[in-house]
Amino acid sequence: MKIFRISLIIAGFFLFGYNFDLVACTNYLVSKGASTDGSTMISYAADSHIRYGELYFRPATDWPAGSLVTIYDRGTAEPLAQIPQVAHTYQTIGFMNEHQVAIGETTFGGKEELTDSTGLIDYGSLMFLSIQRAKSAREAIKVIAELMNTYGYASSGESFSIGDANEVWIMELIGKGTEMKSDKKSKALVNANKGAVWVAMRVPEGYVSAHANHARITQFTLRDGKYSITDKDWDKLYSADIQVIYAHDVISFARQKGYFVGNDTDFSFSDTYNPLDFEAARFCELRVWSMFNHINKEMGQYWDYATGKDLSRRMPLFIKPDRKLTPRDLMSFKRDHLEGTELDMAKDIGAGPFGLPYRWRPLTWKYEEKEYFHERTTATQQTGFSYIVQMRNWLPDAIGGINWFGVDDASTTVYVPFYCSMTAVPHCFAEGNGDMLTYSETAAFWVFSRLAHFAYLFYDRVMPDVREVQDALESKFSADVASTDAEALALYKANPDDAIKFLTNYSTETANNTVETWRNLSNFLLVKYMDGNIKQEKEGKFLENEYGYPLSPKQPGYPESYKKQVVEENGARFLIP
């Protein structure tokens, strides 16, 4: 099971710190008391230039004794190891299981010397394995910690969002580097620092949190046996009072490495293992600020911090929203491009004449030996998939868990409700239907990607049409939930299998209809906006004259701001004498 990977050692120098390809993914965490209906929610955006949008599905399985599970690196698909499988694994759909346990992540990198070249469990495997093996968020934290301690941690620093129907937790962790020594019994070389240091904190009731590629846990309650425990106190894990769980050596290891001196009560996980700098604030914390700013009127005081101008006053880890939230709220937050701020991506010169709030990579660039950057907003073109997971404790697990799942750019996707008990994924969202290098006309990812790419050409013209259909679909799905729940619950009381079949059919039909609607919308938009024209239409029907010939299209040209720029940069070159 022990595999040394030279490629990982080399890659470690690029994985840690702020490699800008890793400034990806944004998570929100919502406690029961902060949602309109008492549900818990977490969200995740898998932002990657090589991540394909598909809905993972693993049925519940009883495994024969001696079964092994292969661990693959999430970033490269490299096989890392085979480890023993547990006797039973739970059904999962996406990163949510049949017991309404869900997980999301963002990578923060951290101190580069803390990579473990001998680790066998990467962050992606921790996600998959934890929800296959845990019936609660707390149990998932324990699974993650024990897997890292047993097999070693193979990735860089990570923040996890972990939730169940009752509570949500943020867990932050990083490896402990590689220090080889001879094992007394086997005489083999082993890593003396195997495992990771970590802290997990429960989001207080009525509060929300978020993270976006930078460690956000600073000080925390130290071991007191009532509110806080270490991994030496797993027997107290399920005490309702416990709000903080952490690795017993998270502080002592920092002292050993020379990262921290002073009183234990002053220890900050983030400041120690992932120190803040301009890039961390501007590319990462600004996305957290954007979400917080939508729901709390006091966030203006942290603008200078989030934009990297003043790092002395950090944003809080948790905030109390001014209003309670719905899944639709989180969907809208996923679509943020810093609208309404001085950094609105649709307003500067990079937006071009059609207000495009995207900048093609790389994120940083040089001109005349000076380095510049593009803003990193929550909504981004390279999203493979994103979701809002909703967990509801007043319903049976089979009905209570909904994975609101969308593929490609969050701004141009539609979040489709997939119930956690469904027994199959529709073909349009299923694994193996196309991939990042293989186009499939039946795959939701390619249908949504094709429309998004067209929208990028004439963004401010096309997006009103896109948003109209998007809003209609998501409004309908949200309205459907109450009646779908009620019908499923009635069936469940008589026969749970009938309820699960009903929910599978509902989610499958909804997904298929959504993809077909989006395909038709894509065709309609191509006809309407072809060649920079805007064909005249009314209620989705293109207008003709009395002889059946198309009416002349509109040609709105360019905005005044663009004309001004052309004239100022070219003088009289285009002036008609």
Number of domains in the chain: 3
Q: What is the spatial order of strands in the sheet that 208-211 belongs to?
A: 318-319, 208-211, 27-30, 40-47, 383-391, 402-407, 416-419
Q: Residue 9 has what pLDDT? A: 30
Residues 152 and 42 in one domain: yes
- The whole-angstrom separation of Cα 450 and Cα 305 is 37
Share of the chain above pLDDT 90, in %: 94
Torsion sign, CA atoms 413, 416, 420, 426 = negative
Q: Residue 538 has what pLDDT? A: 94
- The whole-angstrom separation of Cα 524 and Cα 78 is 42
**Residue 362 DSSP label:** P
Length of the chain in terms of residues written: 577
Residues 428 and 313 in one domain: no
Residues 95 and 114 in one domain: yes
What pLDDT digit, counting tens, does each position of 164-222 carry?
A: 999 999 999 999 999 999 888 887 899 999 999 999 999 999 999 999 999 999 999 99
Residues 327 and 212 in one domain: yes
Q: What is the mean pLDDT of residues 296-304?
A: 98
Cis peptide before 79 (omega within 30 of 0): no
Q: Is residue 367 part of a domain?
A: no
484 CB-near residues (< 8 Å, 6+ apart): 503, 506
Burial of 6-29, coded b for 16+ CB within 10 Å and e otherwise, reads eebeebbeebbbbeebbbbbbbbb
Query: Which residues sit opposite 163 in a β-bridge?
Result: 102, 168
Q: Is residue 24 part of a domain?
A: yes
**Last residue in a domain, options 310, 336, 362:** 336
Query: Which residues sit opposite 173 in a β-bridge?
Result: 158, 198
The Cβ of residue 540 has, within 10 Å, a number of other Cβ atoms equal to 11
Q: Is residue 360 part of a domain?
A: no
**3-class DSSP assignment, residue 265:** helix
Instruction: Say which range, 17-31, 56-70, 303-317, has the weakest mean pLDDT.
Output: 17-31
Query: Is the per-residue pLDDT at 223 higher than 60?
Result: yes
Reading the block at residue 13, the tokens are 């120098």
Query: Is the per-residue pLDDT at 360 higher than 70?
Result: yes
Phi and psi angles of residue 200, each rounded to the nearest 5 degrees, phi first = -125, 130
Residues 65 and 135 in one domain: yes
Q: Which is more confidently placed, 18 or 61?
A: 61
Q: Is residue 198 part of a domain?
A: yes
Phi and psi angles of residue 79, each rounded to the nearest 5 degrees, phi first = -65, 130
- The whole-angstrom separation of Cα 565 and Cα 575 is 14
Residues 505 and 562 in one domain: no
CA distances from 152 to 7, 140, 178, 474 (A): 17, 17, 10, 42
Query: Is the per-residue pLDDT at 505 higher than 80?
Result: yes
- The whole-angstrom separation of Cα 37 and Cα 497 is 26
Q: Is residue 510 part of a domain?
A: yes
Query: Which residues sit opposite 47 in a β-bridge?
Result: 383
Q: Residue 328 has what pLDDT? A: 98
- Give which of 511, 295, 322 is closest to 402, Cα–Cα: 511
The bridge status of strand 92-93 relative to strand 96-97 is: antiparallel
**3-class DSSP assignment, residue 293:** helix
The helix (H) or strand (E) run that includes residue 22 is none
Phi and psi angles of residue 123, each rounded to the nearest 5 degrees, phi first = -65, -40
Residues 314 and 410 in one domain: no
Q: Residue 10 has what pLDDT? A: 30
**Last residue in a domain, options 292, 307, 336:** 336
Query: Is the per-residue pLDDT at 2 higher than 90?
Result: no
Residues 527 and 543 in one domain: no
Q: Residue 23 has what pLDDT? A: 61
- The whole-angstrom separation of Cα 577 and Cα 570 is 15
Predicted TM-score of the model (pTM): 0.95
Beta strands in 513-572 (DSSP E): 537-538, 541-542
Q: Residue 8 has what pLDDT? A: 34
The helix (H) or strand (E) run that includes residue 381 is none
The Cβ of residue 510 has, within 10 Å, a number of other Cβ atoms equal to 20
Q: Are 417 and 481 in contact (CB under 8 A)?
A: yes
Residues 231 and 310 in one domain: yes
Q: What is the mean pLDDT of residues 508-522?
A: 98
Q: Is residue 166 part of a domain?
A: yes
**Last residue in a domain, options 285, 310, 336:** 336
Tokens 């923060």: give the residue: 108
**3-class DSSP assignment, residue 24:** coil
What mean pLDDT value characterizes the chain? 94
- Give which of 177, 25, 7 is closest to 76, Cα–Cα: 7
Q: Is residue 445 part of a domain?
A: yes
Q: Is residue 488 part of a domain?
A: yes
Residues 117 and 219 in one domain: yes
Dihedral, CA of residue 287, residue 288, residue 293 and residue 295, to nearest 10: 130
Reading the block at residue 95, the tokens are 């990163």
Find the domain containing 411 and state its range. Answer: 395-532
Cis peptide before 64 (omega within 30 of 0): no
Residues 19 and 104 in one domain: yes
Query: Which residues sit opposite 365 in a β-bridge?
Result: 372
3-state SS track over 208-264: EEEECCCCCCCCCCCCCCCCEEECCCHHHCCCCCCCEEECCCHHHHHHHHCCCCCCH
Residues 552 and 478 in one domain: no
- The whole-angstrom separation of Cα 573 and Cα 41 is 57
